[in-house]
Amino acid sequence: MRRPVARNLALLAAGAALLSVGAAPPTTRHEAPARHTPKAPVAVGHGGAVSSVDADASAAGIEVLRKGGNAVDAAVATAAALGVTEPYSAGVGGGGYFVYYDARSRTVHTLDGRETAPLTAGSGLFLENGEPIPFAEVVSSGLGVGAPGTPATWQRALDAWGRRGLSTVLKPAERLARDGFTVDETFRAQTAANETRFRHFPDTAELFLPGGELPAVGSTFKNPDLARTYKELRREGVDALYRGDIGRDIVDTVGKPPVDPDSGWNARPGELSERDLAAYRVTSPPPTKTSYRGLDVYSIAPSSSGGTTVGEALNILERTDLSGASDVRYLHRLIEASRIAFADRGRWVGDPAFEDVPAKELLSQRFADSRACLIEDDAVLTSPLAPGDPRDPGPCATGGEAAPTTYEGENTTHLTTADRWGNVVAYTLTIEQTGGSGITVPGRGFLLNNELTDFSFTPANPAVHDPNLPGPGKRPRSSISPTIVLDRHDRPVVALGSPGGSTIITTVLQTLTGFLDRGLPLVDAIAAPRASQRNTERTDLEPGLYDGGTRQRLEAIGHSFRENPEIGAATAVQRLPDGRWLAAAEKVRRGGGSAMVVRPTR
């Protein structure tokens, strides 16, 4: 099973130059941003690489690489720029997970910068009079806001592995916020989708609905308040948020959301305090590690379920030859492996500071084999499927009651960077759903997260312990899956990740198998139409699969589907044998992504 992978990687490397589109180096003029930076989904070259959903953000990372920064510096610069151009997906008011490959030691390290619940939170955080508060009412409220982890993640990463300080790497984003960027169709569409609730909050409406109207495509969008926030963070460091004026403004906003009294909206207050911000800490858990086709797959450990769930699914697929399988058999196996892994995720994964999470056992090949035997080529498993017991795996055994997969907002953003020294970063950051809480901190220019809605409001199944109920200082379970794959010499093969809520896991899984097993060039593995099964009755399919004959053949086996217009928005980098980097992003999803390298080649 290992030789097809080696062959595929060699073919991909040989063909990479033919597929490349060299992105022009960004301008570094300080008087204005690169407002019309072109997008390209793939680029090949030397000196480092950046891939994100946005051209201005990728250009910010490239600028830092060109000035001597490394992959970590570029990742923070890109993330900060995404806080300007993708403010509905990420920013200072959110959190995320950071995976770093150190080329000198050939080791992988991770940072958990997930938001945390207030120290006053209990398991009944989202209950009123014993009943759960409607989800939509919690989303746009102070009650759903967790302590932000993004600024602390930036500082921790730079302190541990960066070559530049926060005051340097935030400069491109500050400039971009001050001078503005060009509004595209995606930004306008996301604003339109949030228009009703944005109007509930005057500060949000003033910023994102200038003059009371949706921003016009092609217009320049400026955020001077965010520019000043970045300047304050550059000058005072992240203590300005965790122990200073920015933090006090966050706490005041959460405790008394500035809602328009004429809107009639009940913006419930949250209990986030200055003590919660001062107590916030980024953790550094060991990465998850899974062996697949002779390669080592590293990702983030709980509190995210990404590493364990992608890893378990890969282990389930390990003994199936996907390289020679028909499209129907490949997708059937992929769907069923994901269904099983999500069943186990729902039962076992939560914040390990509060829950006994058997991460090692979930990633054991023995457990995967005990679950893989449930899969038959001519039948479909029933969802929701009951979990197995990784601590005592029995052949084809399930145990206890099934726990349905809870809702997670499908927005977020992912970036991937690499540098001339061989270091690599896969970083996924978020404010939860598109537009987060919808609440802008007055005078600060950024939206607050609604990340606490990733907790279960009530037990997913009352008959089973739910590891994802709220608790004081607890991190809600995530599906974020930044992933780095190393070869047998501990050198990077590929790094990738995606936004998409719980579909992040299936997007990373499908992209990995498309690249490693099916022999697709990286940009085509990202572009391939996606299927997403998350232990639900029906599997989501993008139109490219839903409208084709493959769906009918899978339905003949017993699968049930629903159409999803867009799943995820991945970015990735690949290390080529000659030392060049190949950066890859979406061709179409979210308007297409932006892959750049420092020195493009053909």
Kindly tell me the burial class for residue 416, based on how many C-beta atoms sit within 10 Å of its own C-beta (0-12, 13-18, 19 or more): buried
Active-site positions read 412
The neighbour count for residue 309, using CB atoms within 10 Å, is 31
- Are 449 and 146 within 8 A, CB to CB? yes
Kindly tell me the burial class for residue 529, based on how many C-beta atoms sit within 10 Å of its own C-beta (0-12, 13-18, 19 or more): middle
C-alpha 394/C-alpha 408 separation (Å) is 31
How far is the CA of 146 from the CAs of 74, 126, 478, in angstroms? 26, 13, 13
454 assigned binding-site residue: yes
- Are 77 and 172 within 8 A, CB to CB? yes
Query: Under 8 Å CB-to-CB from 597, ≥6 apart: which residues?
Result: 22, 23, 43, 44, 45, 46, 47, 48, 49, 50, 62, 580, 581, 583
> Which token pair is 201?
């909050």
C-alpha 386/C-alpha 340 separation (Å) is 8
602 assigned binding-site residue: no
Q: Interior CA angle at 331 toward 328 and 336, to 5°? A: 120
What are the backbone dihedrals phi and psi of residue 297, each rounded to the nearest 5 degrees, phi first? -105, 115
C-alpha 527/C-alpha 17 separation (Å) is 18
C-alpha 53/C-alpha 570 separation (Å) is 8
C-alpha 155/C-alpha 159 separation (Å) is 6
C-alpha 211/C-alpha 205 separation (Å) is 9
- Are 584 and 51 within 8 A, CB to CB? yes
- Are 580 and 601 within 8 A, CB to CB? yes
159 assigned binding-site residue: no
Kindly tell me the burial class for residue 279, based on how many C-beta atoms sit within 10 Å of its own C-beta (0-12, 13-18, 19 or more): middle
C-alpha 73/C-alpha 80 separation (Å) is 11
252 assigned binding-site residue: no
- Are 402 and 386 within 8 A, CB to CB? yes
Smallest CA-to-CA distance from 87 within 241, 204, 238 is with 204
- Are 196 and 207 within 8 A, CB to CB? no
Kindly tell me the burial class for residue 300, based on how many C-beta atoms sit within 10 Å of its own C-beta (0-12, 13-18, 19 or more): buried
Q: What is the DSSP string of 46-88?
A: EEEEEEES-HHHHHHHHHHHHTT--HHHHHHHHHHHHHHH-TT
The neighbour count for residue 352, using CB atoms within 10 Å, is 17
> How many residues can be counted in the chain?
602
Binding residues: 114, 454, 478-479, 501
Binding residues for L-glutamate: 114, 454, 478-479, 501
